[in-house]
Structure 1
Amino acid sequence: MFGTAIRYMAKKPKPKMKPIELKTPPEQTQTITRVIFDIVKEHGPLTIADTWDHVKEVGLRGLTSKRHMKIVLRWMRERQKLRQICNHVGPNKQFLYTTWFTKPNIKQAKTVHDSSQQKFP
């Protein structure tokens, strides 16, 4: 027990994450963020994979890879242009990106809850 306390006290705290600095020019960053924002606004809450599929359809030149898009999405979250919601589907979690103005769609959780209540009239 004494050894556990010493190990616990010896741990360093998690370092603070510094703000993301994008390395693309400001004009290109503005174009990328506008396109991603429009995609998320038009197609509703999207996962990263769905967002990447829509970006590939549009043919945006500024994004080099899916990883670059994920960094831009995180930067947009820091700037409060997008928000991330968590949708619990059974034991799994699904993280979705949405704009601040759209209401989260939680119909799946309600339908499961309502069906369980209908069993006991």
Structure 2
Amino acid sequence: MLKEQLDEIFNRDSLEEEVVSTKFYEIIKRLSPEDAYNLIDEAVAYLLGLKESESIAYMLEFISSLYGIAGTNERTELHELKASVIDRQVDMYGNQFTLNVLNNLKRELGTAK
């Protein structure tokens, strides 16, 4: 379900911040903390398939929102396993903004170095 909603957001000619934010809000607005936490793995899996810096940054922000709604900084098992892959992904495809978003997420989760 989440993949289809994310495909709808990211399979566009351009990513307008207002459109992306609105679509993300539509996904998260009714989530319980448990539902939000349970969606994190799907969001991480989706993130791993992205290669465009803007899309990566948006997904990192979305994942941050899910953790916020979940009310926890405990990473999911998949997120824990793929954290170094996400770091490399940001190094390869990201820009300074993407790196800043990743670092903000790490700070929020208490994993910043």
TM-score above 0.5, yes or no: no
Larger radius of gyration, structure 1 or 2? 1
**Highest RCO, 1 vs 2 (Cα 8 Å, sep ≥ 6):** 2
Q: Which one has the bigger helix percentage?
A: 2
TM score, norm. by length of structure 1 = 0.27
More strand per residue: 1 or 2?
1
